[in-house]
């Protein structure tokens, strides 16, 4: 369940509502995104990630693997197997 609302064009604020597990998934993905945090959109990712952290959204360890083709999530039942 993810909902997004965009305010009137003058303000350009986006509000997203999601379940806690969806927010945790975003934090996992954000940890895997590279780039210069001052010269690229990585700074946007960092700002969103910090907002999630400040809202109490946990960063779950060892829930995904990276490879040359992108990010592959482990099955939920296998997350704590490592």
**Would you say residue 35 lies in a domain?**
yes
**Would you say residue 2 lies in a domain?**
no
The residue with tokens 């700002």 is: 47
**Would you say residue 68 lies in a domain?**
yes
**Would you say residue 69 lies in a domain?**
yes
pTM of the predicted model, to two decimals? 0.70
pLDDT at 74 over 80: no
**Would you say residue 27 lies in a domain?**
yes
**Would you say residue 10 lies in a domain?**
no
> Could you tell me the residue range of the domain that residue 68 belongs to?
20-78
> What's the total number of domains in the chain?
1
**Would you say residue 30 lies in a domain?**
yes
The pLDDT tens digits for 7-66 are: 777 767 888 999 999 999 899 888 888 888 888 888 889 999 999 999 999 887 766 666
């Amino acid at each position: 369940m993810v909902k997004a609302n965009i305010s009137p064009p003058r303000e350009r604020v986006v509000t997203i509502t999601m379940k806690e597990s969806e927010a945790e998934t975003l934090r996992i993905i954000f940890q895997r995104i590279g780039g210069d945090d001052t010269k690229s959109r990585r700074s946007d990712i960092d700002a969103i990630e910090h907002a999630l952290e400040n809202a109490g959204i946990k960063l779950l360890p060892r829930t995904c693997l990276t490879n040359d083709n992108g990010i592959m999530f482990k099955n939920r039942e296998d997350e704590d197997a490592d």
